[in-house]
Amino acid sequence: MTTAPVPAEPAAPVPVAAPTPDAAPAAPAAWMRRATVDLAAYRANLASLIERVAPVELLAIVKADAYSLGVDVMVPEALSVGVRWFGTVESEPALRLRRAGVGDEASFFAWQLAPDEDWAAAVELRVDLGVSTLEQLEAFADAARAAGPGHEALVHLTIDTGLHREGCLPADWAALVTRAVELRDEGVVRLRGCFSHVSETSEADDHAASLVFRKALDDAEALGATFEKRHMSSSSAALEHPERRFDMVRMGSNGYGNPVTEGVTAADRGLRQVLTLSARVVRVKRVPAGTGVSYDYTWRAERDTTLALVPLGYADGVSRRAQHGAEVTIHGRRHPIVGRVAMDQFLVDVGDHEVAVGDEVVLFGPGDDGELTIGEWADRTGSVPEEVSCRIGARVPRVYVGGRS
């Protein structure tokens, strides 16, 4: 097992050390909290998903620093099992990975574009961008012209099928496609893709969105546009609706072993949860009945009991809602979180069970030892697995296990 600090975005820089998962394990270092990332599970999940959606291409979503697990670590793991498309949302991680020589043989796709987007860098470093407006299209094409012969703007035209986030409204679609075709014929734009999203609100809503997407594709073809990749489905939709896979599907949550479909577990899909969040007990106290704990005394002991102090708090991504039904596991036994979750710590009521300073406390993991899964933790804290993963703070070290030889 090898420890590496989380590879972070510039907004919250953390020194990055390359993991060496196959090195001989050193003596355990002192630690208080950690997020363990199972790289073998990630590779196995992606390999299984690639097989299940074949011959359609799989694009691995690595946005938000790979759901906070470390994009610099996770992208090479995905490359090793044959993934050749990556979605980063914003362009900065894609540009950084390109400059570092990571995934030179792969394609990086970003679609959340800044008003002052670095169009020139996207052209030079061959990053695909999702384009929704004529202004974005012209700026990207201008950068390709300025770069000189042989350079192209790699464009995915984006149609709004109902989420009303990025995407061209259907009324403006013909104008966007017509101009894109002109720029393609000029040799400064390459129509790499056409994409959209589904809301996953209901089958009726998603079917309606798919009809809008299909019409947009038909209209674009009539205007002379052909696309290398057509894609609108993400993790759940891609598995549950093969008819909406088109040429490529975007896999985020499923790759990390976090199915987001209600009532569906990782095991149901033949996947394994990648992330485990744990800490160590730093203080144990025996208290009498009636004792109030943490801020506002929102919980009082109904009997004499033992409290264990855990050094994780909302600064580390533990929701303040965790006191209402969330449980942690110590020695394979679940115990409730009690009292307010503070910025740096929370308390656990362990009753009369023996717990000592240094014992491991598992908040969530694959469920092998009776601990909550990330899906169960999300349910009990009014969240979703993606949010739980992304909110884990930078001071929680990421520990990578299951690395490649």
The DSSP symbol for 315 reads G
Q: Tell me: do 256 and 306 sit in the same domain.
A: no
Residue 285 appears among annotated catalytic residues: no
Buried b (16+ CB within 10 A) or exposed e, 360-375: ebbbbbbbeeebbbbb
Q: Which residue segment(s) compose the domain that 129 sits in?
A: 38-265
55 preceded by a cis bond (ω within 30 of 0): yes
**Mean pLDDT, residues 230-246:** 91
> Which residue is listed with tokens 């196995």?
44
In a domain? residue 146: yes
The count of structural domains within the chain is: 2
Q: pLDDT for 168-226, tens place per residue?
A: 999 999 999 999 999 999 999 999 999 999 988 899 999 999 999 999 999 999 999 99
Query: Which domain-ending residue is among 200, 232, 265?
Result: 265
What CATH number did the domain enclosing 224 receive?
3.20.20.10
Q: Tell me: do 369 and 232 sit in the same domain.
A: no
> Which is catalytic among the residues 67, 215, 295, 297?
295
pTM over 0.75: yes
Q: pLDDT for 108-133, tens place per residue?
A: 999 999 999 999 999 999 999 999 99
Q: Tell me: do 156 and 280 sit in the same domain.
A: no
In a domain? residue 24: no
> Which is catalytic among the residues 42, 63, 314, 400?
63
Which is higher by pLDDT, 6 or 393?
393
Q: How far is CA 391 from CA 55, 73, 260, 314, 396, in A?
A: 34, 18, 17, 9, 11
Q: Say how far apart CA 241 and CA 210 lie, in whole Å.
A: 11
In a domain? residue 196: yes
Residue 295 appears among annotated catalytic residues: yes
Q: Tell me: do 231 and 315 sit in the same domain.
A: no
